[in-house]
Amino acid sequence: MEQNELRDIVSRFAISGTISEIKPLGEGLINDTYLVKTTETEQPDYVLQRVNHVVFPDVDMVMRNIQAVTSHIRAKLEAAGTTDIERKVLRFIPLKEDSEKLYCVVGGLYWRIMIFIPNAITKQAVNPESSYAAGLAFGNFQSMLADIPVQLGETIKDFHNMEFRLQQLREVIALDPAGRVQEPQVQEMLRQIDQRAEEMCKAERMGREGTLPKRVCHCDTKVNNMMFDDQDNVLCVIDLDTVMPNYIFSDYGDFLRTAANCVAEDCPDMDQVQFRSDIFEAFTEGYLQSAGSFLLPVEVENLPYATALFPYMQCVRFLWDYLSGDKYWKCQYPTHNFVRANNQLHLLLSIEAHFPAMKAFIAEKMSK
Ligand code: GN1
Ligand code: MG
C-alpha cells in the first residue's frame, strides 16, 4: 500500500499530532497492521489496521463489540482507581466526520486506528511464569466483562461450536472434492474422531439444556495476544476481533492447546507432540485465581474436558480443510493440513493420558 494512500486513510480519523511515517508492524496473518508515528513527543503514536472482512464478514459488528468491551473495561479500571489506564486497555479513535464510528471503508477495505501502547512487548513462547500471568489476565478479562450490559454479536458464526465443526467435516466427506477421503491415514483419523464425537459435543448439549452459560470470551487466547511491560507484568489483552459470547472452555482450552504443546502445531514428528503439565498447572492456577469467583462448578469440573476439546476441534478443522483441498489455512506442502490435524490428534492423546492428574490438580486448587 502506498504511503500517500495510508496517510489519506489516517487523516480521516480524529487523531492528534502530525504524521511523520507509517510502516508495517507485527506479523499477523489475518489483518494488515501499520505503525503510524507522529512528530510531536507529547502526542501518541497509532496503530492502523486493515480488518480482514472475508474472515470477519460483519466488520460493523466487530467494532461495536470492541467498543462495548473496551469502554466497559475502561470504566472498571477507572472505578478501581487504576493508574496508567491508557496502557491497560485499547483505545480506538473515531472518524472526524462521525464521533460514533470507529472504522472507515476505502475502496472496499475496512480500516481502524488505535493508540499505540508505548514500552510494551508481546511474547511468542511461554514458560510457567508467563503462563501463570496469562491465566490471571484471561480470567480477569472474562471477570471484568461478566456484567457487560449489552449483548455482544457472534463475529464468526458457530466459531467454536463442535457440532457445527463435525457437520462441516461430514459434508466435505460426502463431497470429497480433493479425492483424499479414502487415504488410509485419513480413514484411521476419522475413526479416532468418531469415537470421541459424542463426548466432545457435550458443551453444546449442556448449553441447550440450560446448565452451561455463555459468557463474554476472547476466543483467540494465544500468548502473543497479550502485551507485557518490561517487568513481565501483563498490561492488557489485545486482538479483540473474536470477542463474543461463548463457553469459557474456549479461552481456557485454546490457550493450553497452543501453549502446552511441546512443539508447534505443525511439527511433523508425532513423538515430540506432548502435553506440558507444568504449563497446564501454572495457567490453571492463574486462571482459577482470577476467574474462580464467578465460575460455576460445572465450568470448573469440565476444565479437563476443555483442554481436550480444543485439540480435538482443531484436528477436525484441519482435517476438514485438508479434505476440502486446503482452502482456509495457508499450506507450505501438500500434506501440511493433514500433518497439523495429526499433530492435534497426538496432543489430544497425550492430554487424555494426563486426565487423572489434571482432575486431581484442579480439585486440590478448588479445596483451598
Ligand atoms: C487461526 O490465524 P490465527 O492463528 O490467529 C484460526 C484459529 C485457529 C488457528 C490455528 C479466525 O488463528 O481459530 O485456532 O488459526 N482463526 C480463525 O492455527 O479461524
Ligand atoms: Mg489472531
Report pLDDT digits (tens) over 63-91: 999 999 999 999 999 999 999 999 999 99
Q: Which ligand 1 atom sits nearest the alpha carbon of residue 156?
A: 11
CA-proximal residue: ligand 1, atom 11 (nearest): 55
**Ligand 1 pocket, Cβ-based, cut-off 6 angstroms:** 29-30, 55, 156, 220, 265, 314
pLDDT score for 126: 86
Are 217 and 248 within 8 A, CB to CB? yes
* Residue among 30, 254, 317 whose CB has most ligand 1 atoms within 8 A, to mutate: 30
For the CA of 318, the closest atom of ligand 1 is 10
Q: Residue length, the chain? A: 368
Based on its alpha-carbon atoms, the radius of gyration of the chain, rounded to whole angstroms, reads 21
List the residue whose alpha carbon is closest to atom 18 of ligand 1.
Answer: 265
* CATH class given for the domain over 128-367: alpha beta
Alpha carbon of residue 347 to chain centroid: 19
* Centroid of ligand 1 to alpha carbon of 270 (angstroms): 21
- Under DSSP, the state recorded for 264 is -
| Ligand 1: nearest atom to the Cα of 265 | 18
CA 245 to ligand 2 center in whole angstroms: 17
Nearest-atom number in ligand 1 for the CA of 30 is 2
- Using DSSP, state whether 245 is helix, strand or coil: strand
List all residues 6 or more positions away from 356 whose beta carbon is below 8 Å from its beta carbon. Answer: none
Ligand 1 atom nearest the C-alpha of 314 is: 14
pLDDT, position 28: 67
Give yes or no on whether 3-115 and 128-367 have one common fold: no
- Ligand minimally distant from the alpha carbon of residue 226: 2
Looking up cell 460483519 gives 58
Q: Which helix (H) or strand (E) holds 15?
A: none
Ligand in closest contact with the CA of 155? 1
Are 340 and 265 contacting, i.e. CB atoms less than 8 angstroms apart?
Answer: yes
* Ranges in the chain, pLDDT < 50: none
Name the residue of 156, 220, 320 whose CB sits within 8 Å of the most ligand 1 atoms, as the mutation to test its pocket.
220
Domain boundaries, the chain: 3-115, 128-367
Closest-approaching ligand to the CA atom of 52: 1
Q: Ligand 1, closest atom to CA 239?
A: 5
Query: What's the gap in Å between 364 CA and the centre of ligand 2?
Result: 33
Please give the model's pTM, rounded to 2 decimal places. 0.90
CATH of domain 3-115: 3.30.200.20
Residue 37, beta-bridge partner list: 21
Residue 29: what pLDDT?
66
Contact by Cβ (8 Å): 93, 102 = yes
> Cell numbers at residue 5, please?
494512500
* Atom 8, ligand 1: residue with shortest CA distance: 314
Distance 238 CA to ligand 2 centre (A): 9
- Going by alpha carbons, the residue nearest to atom 7 of ligand 1 is 220
